Amino acid sequence: MAILEAERAHRRARLRAEAEELRNAPEDAAVSRALAAEMDETRAW
């Protein structure tokens, strides 16, 4: 069980680090905002 818990913790840490890296990428943030605006516009229909 300890091995599985360690793997899960490692996976969560890796995903968190990747998310943090993406959050700090300005070009990705701009694309994300544009997509969110497009989705809001579509939802308004």
Say if residue 45's pLDDT is above 70: no
Say if residue 31's pLDDT is above 80: yes
pLDDT in tens, 10-23: 999 999 998 888 77
Could you give the number of structural domains in the chain? 1
Give the integer Cα–Cα distance in Å for 8 and 14. Answer: 10
pLDDT for residue 44: 66
Give the integer Cα–Cα distance in Å for 5 and 32. Answer: 33
Structural domain that includes position 25: 2-43
Kindly state the average pLDDT of the residues 38-43. 88
